Amino acid sequence: MPPISRPLRKLGFLTIGLFDEADPRRGHESTLEIIELGEQLGFDSAWVRHRHLQYGISSPVAVLAAASQRTSRIELGTAVIPLGWENPLRLAEDLATVDILSGGRLNPGVSVGPPIHYDQVKGALYPDTADTEDFGYDRVERLLDHVRGKPVTDFSGVEGFEVFSDRVQPQSPGLGRRLWYGGGSTRSARWAGEHGMNLLTSSVVKAPEDPAEPGDFAEIQLSHIRAFRAAHPDGEAARVSQGLVVVPTDSATPEQRAKYEEFAAARTPRTAAPQGPARLMFAPDLVGTSEEIAERLHTHAAFREVDEVAFALPFTFEHEDYVQILTDIATRLGPALGRPATGPTG
């Protein structure tokens, strides 16, 4: 087994938070219960996805505000908020507020690009400015400036009985260092490093156009991590979190194992070659015992250079499946990867 160059330091998980349109509260409660369980099992972080006009979490900041009041230790992240749907100033206010409420545990992850199905939604989202909106990195820079306390107005002081600030309020110390960029290309990884962000890298990367560059998923992801750290002021100490889909089966029932294997098999064909005009490459889902998964991760070139993970839970499983998967990750896979199990608390 190849040596692990970076011992696993932070163990996290990522959930999409699906719900039934006829009973959305139950789905949101399930997500909160899963986050609470994550804290009890000793996970270091819990992350939620972001879905607009779908049956998944549309407001992760609101969900994490609720989670902040039902947990006390676990870090809470978004992976990721697509900034094309957001006003950076308003989002900065929301993020700082939730970070204050959580005691400094929020880890906001963001990405750029136009909203999905933009032609169909732009009339509702940006009725007057749809054709002039900028969905590039400038939007992230605005968010960074607002969170990090740069002035947003030339007015401050007292007006009548009211006091005004020239910065976004509240200001939450440390939040500016806990902003993450969800990147899948060399360009985005390098940009995140240059701007002092942390890097979220997932089970999707963009294949290079140049045939001389790496063509293997793990090698491509590794090249992104190295480009990020080469550009970051913190160098090799810059934070990177990897988010592969990992499904341990140690305590699964035979029915659960069959379901997990069928899920992975249906998604495997997309991993054979770059997909679509964007040339996206997908990592295979890792299903098996914790020992088997650990062996595969130890041979993964990119995994060997990270010390933080946020393993992604599959989209369409049941609450009981997530309980089993998280329990096995915390008590069996984590230790197999070098992180001691803490066991249930509370």
CA 157 to CA 327: how far, in whole Å?
52
Which residues contact residue 181 at a Cβ distance below 8 angstroms, ignoring those fewer than 6 apart?
Answer: 80, 109, 110, 111, 140, 188, 191, 192, 195, 197, 198, 199, 200
Residue 209's pLDDT is: 80
Q: What is the pLDDT of residues 196-209, one digit of tens each?
A: 999 999 999 999 88
Full-prediction pTM beyond 0.75? yes
Strand partners, 202: 243
- Phi/psi of residue 275, each to 5°? -110, 135
Residue 214's pLDDT is: 63
Q: What is the pLDDT of residues 20-29, one digit of tens each?
A: 999 999 999 9
Tell me: pLDDT of 6 over 80: no
Tell me: pLDDT of 53 over 70: yes
343 confidence band (pLDDT: 50, 70, 90): low
Query: Mean pLDDT score of the chain, rounded to an integer?
Result: 95
Q: What is the pLDDT of residues 226-265, one digit of tens each?
A: 999 999 999 999 999 999 999 999 999 999 999 999 999 9
Strand partners, 159: 162
Q: What is the pLDDT of residues 274-312, one digit of tens each?
A: 999 999 999 999 999 999 999 999 999 999 999 999 999
CATH topology of domain 10-226+233-253+305-336: TIM Barrel (3.20.20)
